[in-house]
Amino acid sequence: MKYLQMLEHENIVRLRQIIHSRPSKSESNQMMGSLYLIFDFLNNDLQGLMNNPSIKFELPHIKCILHQILSGMDYMHSKEVVHRDIKGANILVSNRGLVQIADFGLARDMLPLNKEFNYT
């Protein structure tokens, strides 16, 4: 949640509100309630669109989608956040062609490069 609250970019899903409900008497743990995250609604995910045989992506569509994904990732990286779970199911697409990166459950802060480590 901290990354979703911190990141504001047109190609990253926007967390609009967090709602914490009171615990109900029927819940086993009386100290906990439910947590609801409210996001903007996008109709599709990229994986679902790619698996739909009636949808054919032309080169301009592919370029536009990739440009938006890379724009969102560039912004994340500029804020020193790594997503770590980029896949078609985590790329949301609106009916108007807006692409947003979602699901920051595995996201982490970037670690500084260790200059002594040999990457070869």
Contact 37, 109 (CB under 8 A): no
Secondary-structure percent of the chain, ordered helix, strand, coil, rounded to 5: 30, 20, 50
Which CA distances in Å does 73 have to 2, 7, 20, 69, 78? 17, 11, 30, 6, 8
DSSP class of 67: H
DSSP class of 95: T
| Active-site annotation holder among 40, 45, 85, 109 | 85
Verify whether residue 85 is a known catalytic residue. Answer: yes
**Pairing verdict, β 44-45 and 91-93:** antiparallel
Q: Which residues are catalytic?
A: 85
